[in-house]
Every structure is written in structure tokens, then in C-alpha cells.
């Protein structure tokens, strides 16, 4: 008869260096209060606005390991919880990332949770109320979460549809923290720090993004993100001229429509006229 044992690495990430994060309001204080009571947290906001970096910063601040799962439509409950594997003549149980976090007292981050199948997200429900437990049907056990375990999910409300949205019964299990692109002064400091670019060009990038974001009404699915500005700034530091950097880091990833692309280019040309 084959034996059953625990297998696999711990899959936890402990951050030793502080991830740079520039607070915008009282998001650090809110998260710390939620951590104090181990309340599950939902981060809501557009792509590239700093949700993941914020959570990395908080994990570092709290000195807790972090387990991150990038959710997608093929994600199954077994991907989260674990499965049996065959190794030689043994049947080996391998914890999934959620189970690892529950056992070890890590922060488990389910990124873009709305992309996961509904039947998959149901497995997190017992972890978000007074039970703080994870049933593992395949093992016939229910694991009580480590006292330091915390569950955090994120999603982009701009992409939600009737078929792709969290059920209200799931949302109401979390406290909700809204994120958006930061004010110009804060965003400028972020771009300077992250891209290593001078203040003048960082300000020009942020000002151009402020104008470009108005083009969402003209058909852009997503507006210019802070992440994209950082990429553009990094390419400028690497030697690309400003408009080429903006084209490959911001415009090309945002749209395949030639007219929208040209409209975006005109916006950035206004703020980098020497490159026009």
C-alpha cells in the first residue's frame, strides 16, 4: 500500500527589503487596523495603480511571509488548496498556496480574484468569518488558520461584467479599500523613485497621463497606469527618446486602434515637444 505524506516547498516569500510605497491617504492605517483583528481585505482599483506594491509593503512592515496567486479562469479549487501526486510508489499530498498560507500564518493574496471561477472562490468563505478555517475534502480534514494568517483579494472594478464579478455574498465578507491613480504630486515622486528619472521628465509624464486618461471616454479599455509611466521613465533613463519610450511603454500596450494611438501620441508630444 502506498503511503501518504506532505510534499512540496513552502512557497512563502519573506520580504527583507522595504518595497517602496508612497501613501496617498490613510490606507496604511486602515490595513493595520484590519490586521489587528485579522479581518479579510479587498483591494479595489484599476490596473497598475499600486495595489500589489501596497500589499508587498504591508507584508514587509508586518514582517509576515506573502503568498501571491495570480487568478485566472482555469484556476481550480485544487490549485488553491492542494492535490495528491504520485511520486514513485507513494501517493503524496502537496499543499496549494492557500493551504500553505493558512498553515504557516502568511498573508495570502489572491490577485484579480474576479478572474477565477465562482466555484473556486467559494473555498475561501470559511476563512472570512468567525470560523477562520479551511476544509480540505480530499484529506477529510478542516485546518484552523494560524493566528497570523490573513486573506487579501484584489480586483479591477472597471472590468466587472454580469458574468465576471464577485458575488455580493463574497464581497461582504471583506473590508473594501479603494485605490486609484495617485494625485499628480505623489505620482511624480513615485515615478522619480521607481524609474530613477529626473523631476522635470517625471512631471511631464504625469501631466501627460492626466490628459491621456480623459481618452477613456473615446474607447480605451484601460487608461494610462502609474506602472506604465514608470516603464516609460525607465526607458528614457536607458537612453530612448521620450516619445519612443512613451510609445512602447504606454501607447502600444494600451490600444491597437491607429486613431486612438495617434491621439495618445499627440497628448505626449504636447509635453515632450523637443522630441516631436
Fill in the DSSP letter of residue 152: E
The burial of 237, by beta-carbon neighbours within 10 Å (0-12 exposed, 13-18 middle, 19 or more buried), is given as middle
What does the pLDDT look like over 51-98, one tens digit per residue?
999 999 999 999 999 999 999 989 989 999 999 999 888 999 999 999
Across the chain, the runs of DSSP E, i.e. the strands, are 4-7, 41-44, 66-70, 82-87, 90-95, 107-111, 133-136, 141-144, 150-155, 175-178
CATH topology for the 4-178 domain: Rossmann fold (3.40.50)
Q: Tell me the whole-structure pTM to 2 decimals.
A: 0.88
- Return left, alpha or beta for 154; rule: phi > 0 is left, psi -120 to 50 is alpha, else beta: beta
Rounded Cα–Cα distance for residues 242 and 232 (Å)? 8
Buried b (16+ CB within 10 A) or exposed e, 86-109: eeeeeebbbbbbbbbbbbbebbbb
Residue with cell 479549487: 77
The grid coordinates of residue 82 equal 492542494
Angle at alpha carbon of residue 150, lines to 144 and 155, rounded to 5°: 125
What does the pLDDT look like over 20-58, one tens digit per residue?
999 999 999 999 999 999 999 999 999 899 999 999 999
pLDDT over 70 at 273, yes or no: yes
Amino acid at each position: 500500500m502506498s503511503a501518504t505524506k506532505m510534499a512540496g516547498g513552502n512557497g512563502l516569500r519573506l520580504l527583507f527589503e522595504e518595497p517602496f510605497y508612497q501613501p496617498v491617504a490613510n490606507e496604511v492605517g486602515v490595513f493595520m487596523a484590519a490586521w489587528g483583528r485579522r479581518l479579510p481585505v479587498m483591494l479595489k482599483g484599476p490596473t497598475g495603480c499600486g495595489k500589489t506594491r501596497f500589499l508587498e509593503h504591508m507584508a514587509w512592515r508586518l514582517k509576515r511571509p506573502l503568498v501571491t496567486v495570480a487568478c485566472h479562469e482555469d484556476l481550480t479549487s485544487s490549485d488553491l488548496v492542494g492535490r495528491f501526486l504520485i511520486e514513485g510508489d507513494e501517493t503524496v499530498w502537496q499543499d496549494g498556496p492557500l493551504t500553505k498560507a493558512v498553515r504557516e500564518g502568511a498573508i495570502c493574496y489572491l490577485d484579480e480574484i474576479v478572474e477565477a471561477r465562482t466555484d473556486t472562490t467559494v473555498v475561501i468563505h470559511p476563512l472570512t468569518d468567525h470560523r477562520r478555517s479551511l476544509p480540505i475534502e480530499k484529506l477529510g480534514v478542516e485546518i484552523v488558520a494560524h493566528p497570523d494568517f490573513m486573506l487579501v483579494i484584489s480586483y479591477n472594478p472597471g472590468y466587472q461584467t454580469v458574468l465576471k464579478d464577485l458575488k455580493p455574498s463574497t464581497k461582504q465578507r471583506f473590508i473594501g479599500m479603494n485605490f486609484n491613480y495617485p494625485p499628480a504630486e505623489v505620482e511624480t515622486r513615485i515615478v522619480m523613485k521607481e524609474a530613477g528619472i529626473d523631476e522635470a521628465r517625471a512631471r511631464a509624464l504625469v501631466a501627460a497621463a492626466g490628459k491621456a486618461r480623459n481618452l477613456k471616454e473615446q474607447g480605451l479599455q484601460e487608461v494610462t497606469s502609474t506602472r506604465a509611466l514608470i516603464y516609460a521613465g525607465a526607458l528614457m533613463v536607458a537612453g530612448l527618446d521620450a516619445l519612443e519610450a512613451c510609445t512602447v511603454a504606454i501607447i502600444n500596450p494600451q490600444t491597437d486602434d491607429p486613431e486612438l494611438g495617434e491621439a495618445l501620441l499627440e497628448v505626449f508630444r504636447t509635453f515632450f515637444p523637443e522630441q516631436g
